[in-house]
Structures are given as structure tokens and as C-alpha cells.
Amino acid sequence: MRKMFFLFILLLSFKGFSQDTSSAEDSLEIRKIYDMALLNGQAYDWLEHLSLKIGPRLSGSVNAQRAVEYTKKELEELGLEKVWLQPVMVPKWIRGTKEYAFIETAPGTSRNVNIAALGGSVSTPAMGTKAEVIEVQGIEDLEKYGEEQIKGKIIFFNRPMRADLINTFAAYGGCVDQRYKGAAEAVKYGAVGVIVRSLTHRLDDFPHTGSMTYEDLPVEKRIPSAAICTNDAEYLSSLLKLDKSVKLYMKINSEQLADVQSYNVIGEITGSEFPDEYIVVGGHLDSWDLGDGSHDDGAGVVQSMEVLRLFKEINYKPKRSIRVVLFMNEENGLRGGNKYAEEVKRKKENHIFALESDAGGFTPRGFSFDTGDAQFNQIESWKKLFEPYLIHQFHRNGSGADIIPLKNGSVVLAGLRPDSQRYFDHHHSDNDTFEAINKRELELGAATMASLIYLVDKYGFKTISTQQEPKM
């Protein structure tokens, strides 16, 4: 009995051994990737240039164009098979002179508050907008007040991000409607302006901008809309509890100009066996005009570039064509992502996988996937290879805004998932700066992305349809 038991164990071991042949090679290759990223990485230096030498890169700005030229030049130096610019027209919104705002508790008695126009907001009239304020906890509240109370007022959306959610992106998702369509909704009730509590857990003095929509509202009916920093949101809220008649003054000097020419920046290592199967890795080159866009999304840009550089450096020759795509205009239009997908469709390029890094340059924790069961199970079977690097999250919840337009029922989409706790401390504000980047965290992200792409390139995806799998 004892002998048989040992024989059984022995057989199990052999089975393990034969299964692990490829996986041992993969372990070594992945170790090479991490070593190269950590010992001889380029991502941090690239980001230093993007952030400190160039700076914020709002679509249509001179800086965005400088970033296009810089990253193209850097990709050219990597010795890729192809590097090119993909033209795309982008919106050009400018903030103009910095906003000015104060709360007036009585005529002649006021306190300045920090606001930043939301991206796409119209300017206030030349003399600014001054009005009483109605604080609401969300769009649903507008109906409660109705046109009678709202008309001529400024609506103050003040629902904070939930602190109890572990994933801060979920907390963001639960509040961002106030910013994105608060103005479009408030205007229906006659509001003359909107301010939105900044989307961050922190209590500080940074207003956090971001995209918004007026839907199909004619230009002349649009109302100015701005983010207010959380400290001032708290102050205003406490004031309103005492006195409903306090007024907010705001002056916004923004302007929406005509669309301008810009570009996605693309580099490619052509596949050795399946050159017509494409794998995309990318981030977005544009940023908001506050801070320098280091986390959003300078980090994703340089990590994506680094993936291709790492393959070159460790002399890994992909079977499939690997493209780095630095998308333009994720923040206020998604024109770059849409354009890239359009061209893929037009040229009938077979994309099997796309991975975006657009959640900050923090310690990577894993990936989210938008795919079918079979592909996800296959990816999960690689999980063990990532354990030495403390990569443990493999879940099915989202990918990246720029790659969603590629979705066609077969391409696997994925997003890098870094630790999310600090992200909204920086997001879309003056606080998104290079000094908030940790070199090792950035490099670990790049290595993690490269490792997954290495595996997808090497093994491809099984084509088992999800429908054929038994469901319990």
C-alpha cells in the first residue's frame, strides 16, 4: 500500500514535470523581462521628459504635438520595424486665464475658493456669474427642487466618493455622472452654472477637472461648469447649512476652438510567424492641462513603449505583430481610440489582444479583462507565473477607454490594474506630477504588461467559443 502510494505520487510528479516544461521556460523569460525593467529600465527617463520637459498635453495643444514628436523619435530609436503617425482630428478646448471664484456671505464679505473649469465648459459672461447656490447630492435631486427653486441659481453637486469601496475606481464610477452630465441636467431646470465636488477622497485644495457633456444643447444655452476643491466644497456646504442666501461668484475664461490636426503615435515589431495577427499595447498621450499628466497617462505611455523596448533588449522575437499605440485625445473626445479602431476595420487587420495602461503608474496588482470564458480561463492558467511578482488580480471587469472601440466579439481586451488607493489623489489636477511617480512601481507595471503580452504572443488564444462550454 505504501509503495503504491509513492508510485502514485511519483506519477503525479512526472505529470507536473511534463506540464511545467513550457512554464519553466516562461518563468525564465518573464524573470528576464522584470530584470531588464528594474535594472536597466527606460520608462522613468521617458516619463521625466514627457512630464518635466514637455508638461501637460491637452489635445490640440503645442505640448501635445511636442509629445507626439518626442515619442515618435524615441520609438524610432528602438529599431522597430515600423513607426508612424496616424492622423486624427481632435477638439481644441482651452482653459484661458485661470478661473477665479469666491463665496459671498454678505455684500463685501467673501472668501476665495479653488475651482477649475470642467473640460469643454463654456466661459462665464465677461463679468462672471454670481448666484445663490443649491447643494444637491446628485442628478436625482434636481427634480425634487424643480425649476421654480433652481432657476437662476448655481447647482452644487456635492456627493462625495464612497470611502468604503476598496476599489477607488468604483467610488469614482459612483460619482462621475455629476461631473459628466450635471450641467446638461441642471440647465433643464434653469440653472445658470454648475460646480461639482472634486472627485477625490482627499480633503485638499486641488480642483480636479475632467470631461463633461452638454449633449445636444445649443451653444447659447450652455452654462459654465467647474470642479471645486474638496476643502472648499466642505466649507460651502457648511455655510449653506447656516445660510441659503450665500452667493457663489465664478469667472471662467475657456474657449472651444475649431478641431485641429493631431496624431496617434504607433510603433510595430512585425511578427515572425503570424505577422497578420496583431497585439496592441497602449496608453494615451494626451492629458488634462493641470499638473503634468504623469499618472494620467504619461505612465501608461512610457510603460507601453517600454514593453517593446524590453522585447528588443532581451532579444525576444514575437511571433505576432506587437504594436505600441499612443492614443491621442482620450480625455476629451476619444478621437484617437476611435480612429485607430476605424483603420483596423478598414484594413481588416486581425487584432487578437489589446492591453491598455491607464490607471496610474502605481504598483501593479493585476489585470482586468473583457473577454469570453475560454480566453479568460486560459489567461488564468498563467496566473502562477505572475506570483513571484505579487501580481494576483485577474478579473473580468473592464479594459481601457482607448481600446474599447476595437471590441468585435473576438479580440481580448485588457487593462493593467495598479494599486488604486492613491490614484484619485492626483487624477486630473495640479497634483498629478512627476514627483508622485515611484520609479520601481512604474517599472514593475511595464514588466507586468510585457510578461502578459509575451504569453499572449507565444500561445495565442484558443478559439473555443464560450457558447460551447457547459454552464452549471
Question: Could you give the CA distance from residue 332 to residue 316 in angstroms, rounded to a whole number?
Answer: 36
Shortest Å, Cβ 472 to its own copies: 7
113 CB contacts (<8 Å, ≥6 apart)?
101, 102, 103, 228, 229, 232, 235, 236, 248
The residue (of 396 and 407) whose beta carbon lies closer to its own copies is 396
Backbone angles phi, psi at 89, to 5 degrees: -80, 135
The residues facing 102 across adjacent strands are 112, 249
CB of 196 to its own copies, least distance (A): 21
Retrieve residue 461's grid coordinates. 488564444
Q: How far is CA 33 from CA 24, 29, 93, 459, in A?
A: 14, 6, 40, 17
Report, in Å, the least distance between residue 317 CB and its own copies. Answer: 23
| CA–CA gap between residue 140 and residue 142 (Å, rounded) | 6
Residue of 185, 268, 330, 441 with catalytic role: 330
Pick the closer one to its own copies by CB: 105 or 421: 421
> Taking the complex as a whole, how short is the minimal distance between the CB of residue 34 and its own copies, in angstroms?
7
Residue 443 CB, nearest approach to its own copies (Å): 8
Here the cell at position 49 is: 521628459
The residue (of 34 and 93) whose beta carbon lies closer to its own copies is: 34
- 417-450 b/e with 16+ CB inside 10 Å = b? bbebebbbbbbbbbbbbbebbeeebbbbbbbbbb
CB nearer its own copies, residue 162 or residue 462 = 162
DSSP H helical ranges for 243-334: 299-313
7 vs 390, beta carbon nearer its own copies: 390
Rounded Cα distance between 412 and 405, Å, is 12
User: What's the min distance (Å) between Cβ of 10 and its own copies?
Assistant: 11
Residues making contact with its own copies (CB under 8 A): 9, 34-35, 38-39, 163-164, 166, 168, 201-202, 363, 365, 388-390, 392-393, 419, 421-422, 425, 438-441, 444, 472
**Whether 277 is catalytic:** no
Residue keyed to cell 509629445: 67
Indicate the residue among 65 and 421 with the shorter CB distance to its own copies: 421
DSSP state of 456: H
Cα separation, 125 vs 283, whole angstroms: 37
Element (H, E) at 102: strand 100-106
CB of 160 to its own copies, least distance (A): 11
Long-range pairs for 157-160: beta carbons < 8 A, 24 or more residues apart: 157/182, 157/194, 157/195, 157/196, 157/197, 158/197, 158/233, 158/236, 158/237, 159/197, 160/197, 160/201, 160/230
Please give the Cα distance from 183 to 192 (Å, whole number). 9
C-beta closer to its own copies: residue 149 or 393: 393
The residues annotated as belonging to the active site are: 330
